[in-house]
Amino acid sequence: MKIDPVQATLHGLVQTFEKMLQDTPAPDGAVDVRSGSFYVEDTTAIIPLVGTARGAMLVSMPDQVACMAYAAFTGCDCAHVDDDVLDGLKEIVNIAAGAAAARMVPYKVGLGLPTVMSGQKQRLLGNPSAPWHFVPMKSKKFGNFWIAITLEEV
């Protein structure tokens, strides 16, 4: 049975937001397949996926959305993105990726260490053999953001 990594990623993210942030984001448009060089939002958390399939998952948000998500996750106020917000987003992407990886049967997928980038006009360089699948998300509570996955069999 072939899994759909985009659906597994969506499930993991929505489950995490419902349980940890008391919100239910939903896809807000078609999947955007990207390879080569592309821009991401101001605050982006990336976590490697390793095992019988490898790749990465990311959550990319404007700073304002990142602050609101962090505040809901921790119960702390957030006036601007700082190290605490970045650390909170690492935890969010780690939990979401864990839930997504659990659905990626028959692959045995583990998680690497998450990394968070912050700043304007950040670009990623994707691998043409394993393009990123970006899904625009809309949260009634926080606003718009992106989730994405890249995955290839090893």
- pTM, two decimals, is 0.94
- Residue 68 domain-assigned? yes
Are residues 26 and 74 in contact, defined by beta-carbon separation less than 8 angstroms? Answer: no
Three-state DSSP at 125 gives strand
pLDDT tens by residue, the chain, 154 residues = 567 899 999 999 999 999 999 999 999 999 999 999 999 999 999 999 999 999 999 999 999 999 999 999 999 999 999 999 999 999 999 999 999 999 998 889 999 999 999 999 999 999 889 999 999 999 999 999 999 999 998 8
**Structural domain for 114, as ranges:** 5-148
The Cα-based distances of 95 to 60, 101, 149, 153 in angstroms read 15, 10, 15, 22
Measured over the CA atoms of residue 48, residue 54, residue 55 and residue 56, the dihedral's sign is negative
Query: How many structural domains is the chain composed of?
Result: 1
What's residue 17's pLDDT? 98
- Residue 154 domain-assigned? no
Span 50-95, pLDDT tens digits: 999 999 999 999 999 999 999 999 999 999 999 999 999 999 999 9
- Residue 153 domain-assigned? no
Rounded distance, CA 15 to CA 124, Å?
A: 27
Q: One-letter amino acid identity for 31?
A: V
The Cα-based distances of 21 to 43, 58, 71, 140 in angstroms read 18, 17, 9, 12
The Cα-based distances of 96 to 37, 120, 122 in angstroms read 25, 24, 22
CATH code at 50?
A: 3.40.1550.10
The torsion of the CA quartet 95, 21, 62, 31, rounded to 10 degrees, works out to 60
What's residue 88's pLDDT? 97
